[in-house]
Amino acid sequence: LYDRQNYIATKPDSNGKGHAHIVDAKGEGANRFRPISLESRFSQRRGLDEVGALVFDIGSYSVRAGYAGEDCPKADFPTVFGMTLDREDGSNPMETEGGKAKQSGTTYYIDTNQLRVPRENMEVMSPLKNGMIEDWDSFQAILDHTYKMHFKSEPSLHPMLMSEASWNTRAKREKLTELMFEHYNIPAFFLCKTAVLSSFANGRSTGVVLDSGATHTTAIPVHDGYVLQQCIVKSPLAGDFMTMQCRELFQEMNNALPSRVCLSQEAVREGAPAVWKKKEKLPQVTRSWHNYMCNTVIQDFQASVLQVSDSPYDEQVAAQMPTVHYELPNGYNCDFGAERLKIPEGLFDPSNAKGLSGNTMLGVGHVVTTSVGMCDIDIRPGLYGSVVVTGGNTLIQGFTDRLNRELSQKTPPSMRLKLIANNTTVERRFSAWIGGSILASLGTFQQMWISKQEYEEGGKQCVDRKCP
């Protein structure tokens, strides 16, 4: 059985089942590779190409999917999708590559190229709510799209490891397990919590994972590979919160319009408002699509301009900060100074954020210390000694330096603080996926899979026993 670089040499073991070792293409070094159990979870047909396990990490902002053992996901596209209903005459809207029609009369538009095409009556929404699956039909459409457009393979050929929110409910876990085995007929399945995977990706089995993504910032303690669910602390101060703050800033200055609306620009004097022409014959788009396109502009602004101050916000210090030039798609451009620091300050000090004065929400530093403080005193040194920083929102310039400063002030003197934050964008954004890629390719993990046979014998409840 051949894969891309190695072949599988099989021989029956004492039980009569196939047992294999990966051998390199030259036939050397068989003992250096891990054994792989070849049960019914893998290909049933002799001579079929051996295909690897797939790893899915579906977050509130993006879908990451790829082959186990690789260093980055093969697919990375927005979790949100476009959806249109049938027209009154019963005909479907014209589909392009990536569009998927359901029997119910709903057409889904998935992936960046599909989402950014203006269409009449296309609503943009997410299949997730609070990090958990809410709309199962659209979630299934996303899986179908990933298999068809990115892997170009049948689900029945690949074992799947999927990440899940650390607070996922038992009912949703069981429903997902049932969907994967019954509808997709996958040979093997495993669910693992994102915090555990992020810990593994950073070489830790114990620590507190600070994950700041699109919809929330969470501190999740992990001890010996298990999430301490009673000690999870969440805050809504995350990427979407900053997007909202930036939107208010632009509304005060000028409107951040999507580039597809702007036809041409005219030269103006420095400091004057932008002068531009709007495209004609644009389809009547929905508010949700317009907001999505505006948010893509704002998110680019966030990544390019914003910076976290290394100390609590001070107007005099902020006024002396060097400015950063930024131009919007409609031609409006400006040098941003103090605003660069003031907007992300709300992540660490909510009282400084517009509209949040007097609010009881916790800043990033307090989220971590509150979570650790809820844990048993005996394991706190191990948690403070491995604070894993992950999530796309933590990539804002200065985020880790400020977090390290705040935690150093709040950590008890008897505790040794160590912040673990990868410097590369890929490793920080994809840490949960990378952890899953490492885990699913380990030889010692192969016995952990829920096989098709185990599912048929034990039902969907087997996920609660095999995937803690």
Residue 223's domain is classified under what CATH number?
Answer: 3.30.420.40
3-state secondary structure of 37: strand
Confirm if 43 and 1 have CB atoms less than 8 A apart: yes
Domain containing 274 — which CATH number? 3.90.640.10
Domain boundary among 421, 439, 459: 421
Closest C-alpha among 184, 181, 159 to residue 455: 181
Query: 345 with 245, same domain?
Result: yes
Q: What is the distance between the alpha carbons of residues 373 and 383, in angstroms, rounded to a whole number?
A: 10
Q: How many domains does the chain have?
A: 4
Q: Is residue 133 part of a domain?
A: no
Q: What is the distance between the alpha carbons of residues 306 and 310, in angstroms, rounded to a whole number?
A: 13
368, with CB counted inside 10 A (0-12, 13-18, 19+), is: buried
Query: 292 with 225, same domain?
Result: no
Residues of the chain with pLDDT under 70: 1-51, 86-104, 254-279, 356-359
Query: 331 with 368, same domain?
Result: no
Taking residue 394's Cβ as centre, other Cβ atoms within 10 Å add up to 24
Query: 345 with 370, same domain?
Result: no
What's at 171, amino acid-wise?
A
**pTM of the predicted structure, to 2 decimals:** 0.83
Closest C-alpha among 389, 456, 452, 435 to residue 161: 435
Domain boundary among 89, 107, 125: 125
Domain boundary among 400, 421, 442: 421
**pLDDT tens string 265-294:** 666 566 666 666 666 777 888 999 989 998
Q: Is residue 289 part of a domain?
A: yes
Taking residue 292's Cβ as centre, other Cβ atoms within 10 Å add up to 21
Query: 249 with 343, same domain?
Result: yes
Query: 247 with 331, same domain?
Result: yes
Q: Is residue 357 part of a domain?
A: no
| Positions of E strands within 244-320 | 262-266, 275-278
- Domain span holding position 33: 6-38
- Which strand (E) or helix (H) includes residue 371? helix 364-373
Residue carrying structure tokens 């041409």: 264
Confidence at residue 274, expressed as pLDDT on a 0 to 100 scale: 64
Q: What is the distance between the alpha carbons of residues 392 and 239, in angstroms, rounded to a whole number?
A: 8
Q: Is residue 252 part of a domain?
A: yes
Query: 223 with 368, same domain?
Result: yes
Core vs surface per residue 236-257: b (16+ CB within 10 A) or e: ebbbbbbbbbbbebbeeeeebb
Which residues are within 8 A (CB) of 136 and not within 5 positions of it... i.e. 6 or more apart?
A: 127, 175, 179
Q: What is the distance between the alpha carbons of residues 372 and 233, in angstroms, rounded to a whole number?
A: 9
Confidence at residue 115, expressed as pLDDT on a 0 to 100 scale: 94
Helices (H), 119-169: 136-145
Confidence at residue 448, expressed as pLDDT on a 0 to 100 scale: 94
Q: Is residue 465 part of a domain?
A: no
Closest C-alpha among 10, 72, 74 to residue 42: 10
Q: Is residue 134 part of a domain?
A: no
Confidence at residue 10, expressed as pLDDT on a 0 to 100 scale: 34
Query: 217 with 247, same domain?
Result: no
3-state secondary structure of 449: coil
Q: Is residue 119 part of a domain?
A: yes
Query: 230 with 263, same domain?
Result: no
**pLDDT tens string 379-433:** 999 999 999 999 999 999 999 999 999 999 999 999 999 999 998 999 999 999 9
What size, in residues, is the chain?
A: 468
Please, which residues bridge with residue 36 across strands?
Answer: 20
Query: 18 with 96, same domain?
Result: no
Q: How many angstroms from the chain centroid is the CA of residue 90? A: 36
Q: Is 271 left (phi over 0), alpha (psi -120 to 50) or beta?
A: left
Query: 224 with 371, same domain?
Result: yes
Query: 341 with 273, same domain?
Result: yes
Q: Is residue 303 part of a domain?
A: yes
Q: What's the start-to-end Cα distance of the chain, in Å?
A: 33
For the record, the structure tokens of 174 come out as 């069981």
